[in-house]
Structure 1
Amino acid sequence: MQIRVSVNGTEYVRDVEPRLLLVHLLRDDLGLTGTHWGCDTSNCGACAVWLDEQPVKACTVLAVMAEGHRVRTIESLESRSGLDQVQRSFIACHGLQCGFCTPGMLMTARWLLDHNPSPTEADVREAIVGQTCRCTGYENIVRSVLHAAEAEAGRFPERGQEPGIVQVPL
């Protein structure tokens, strides 16, 4: 089947098998390997992407279901001006360990903050309930999302100057 899909603002037309999962289209066909494929059962959430501004698990969506829709992946978070605040906060607050769940956590966190700029700890925990982290126990992940909310609310003096961020020249 031929599909047309917008991924991170770029239009793609692809011939795909009807049974192809969105996660495989993204990783194998488009080379966007930031979206992790973890369990293939929709349990872990490492493959979370946005489909028309809603988080979905890409291992539960067929590529043909994305026909005519907009997909946003982890690769879209970084811009010309640098890392997204959520990414910077995960670094500052040690919200990642092995990094496997991180793309799904970041996409879910970004969605939450776009829809609720002042979440409570309970809001964050509810938003990430579909994500499995095997390393951190979630404390630093929750702290990272709350840190990002504080930073975006302007509670830090200057972008990139949040407590705990080490500036490393490239």
Structure 2
Amino acid sequence: MFYKTALATSVLLLSSGIAHAETTYRIGITQNNVGVDSYQTTYESAFEEAAEAAGNVDVVVLDAGGDVARQIGQMQDLVQQQVDAIIIWPTNGQAVIPAIRQAYNAGIPVVVTNSKIAEAGLDFIAAFSGPDNVQQGISSAEMMCDALGGEGQIVQISGQPGYPGYCTGHEKGG
């Protein structure tokens, strides 16, 4: 339900700021890696449902497959298509900044979702929609420590290098 509410809000927010309600809007979304992540698959489905429910939103749904070069190309394609807005779930929070800047310079609002981009790109986005990964990590660590009662061993399983959630956790928590 959270995903549907967040996506519906994003779709309505973007469409309300662009023109009148009788206009049809084209919103592009490029995701990190839908094929291997059920979370992203659910997000994509909820996005499509929210757009359909809005009634005046056409979507261009793209999957980068975890490939940052592909995602940059997808961003460039969406700019060439002159979509009304772009939602990006970044594969690499630093590498996608030039593509986000290109959309910004073309007057296309960009919403970054789920994984933050590097600070250097924040001036080029309209909004961020997603979790506070650092706080989630802190809360998870505290729950683990409480559950273990001071006993046991903990193993850290790292994510994809360059992926914003992975980088943020290592920068903040080590």
Computing the radius of gyration over CA atoms, which structure comes out larger, 1 or 2?
A: 2
Q: Which has the higher contact order (CA 8 A, sep 6+)?
A: 1
Q: Compare the two structures and name the one with the higher helix fraction.
A: 2
